[in-house]
Amino acid sequence: MRTLKLTVAYDGTRFVGWQRQAEGDSIQGLLEEALARFEGAAVSVQGAGRTDAGVHALAQVASVRVTCAHDVATLTRALNARLPEDVRVLSVEEAAPTFHARFSAKKKTYRYQVRNAPIAMPFERSYVWHLSEPLDVDAMRQAAAMVVGTHDFAAFQSVGTQVPCSIRTVLRSAIVQPEPGLIAYEVTGDGFLRHMVRALAGTLVEIGRGWRTAESMRDLVAGGTRHDAGATAPPHGLFLVAVDYD
């Protein structure tokens, strides 16, 4: 039995998300179907993060246990031949038997993109949240800095989420502007609650719009409720950028 580590990129536009669903195509389901052809039996692929419908990944990480003897380079080519073009296996690596894509992860990085311009190019409509009114980027930047640290992020998790603890540690939280008119929120942490990054992005946008103050973020990360924070940003502006391990 071998444990393999897969690094996968995908355009999440048409998928129901990472996780298998009763209906619709999922990234997990497509990978399991492709791998089963080489394994000759059903396999279970585990992902580092369960991205939602419409969310993209530049480097999602998955793990799987298999018995097939194909070398990793052959598997990489063969999987990409089986998968649709909006899902690409960037690499397949041999991993330690104890490796698990989700539980072995030490930190994850996400990016949320906002096109802040009167007009957005049609080619990027699936990859940015288009907001035409001017945003106060300095206020957004000040608020984003307050997210860094170990906090109770209950204000930024989906209502009804069942987790034993909503405390997480954020290592980096920053507003950057890669090009004129593009605002990106980049955040790295040891773990994220369901819809946490999108809720943070939505709150930062409300600060940029002047609907709430930058200082209000300090109260939210001190233990606010979901009702206190901003709306959840649309999924299509979100990217899982990287997953880091020891």
DSSP 151-179: EE-GGGS-TT---S--EEEEEEEEEEEEE
Tell me, yes or no, if 219 is annotated catalytic.
no
The CA–CA distances, whole Å, from 131 to 135, 136, 193 equal 9, 12, 25
Question: Which residue in the block uniquely carries the two structure tokens 């040891």?
Answer: 190
CA 39 to chain centre: 29
123: Cβ contacts below 8 Å, ≥ 6 apart: none
The helix (run of H) or strand (run of E) holding residue 239 is strand 238-244
Task: Report the half-sphere exposure of 186 (CA within 13 A, side-chain side).
Answer: 12
| Closest CA relative to residue 52, chosen from 188, 205, 180, 236 | 236
In whole angstroms, give the CA distance from residue 87 to residue 70: 21
Write out the two tokens for 27: 């990234």
Annotated catalytic residue, options 25, 52, 138, 219: 52
**Annotated catalytic sites, by residue?**
52
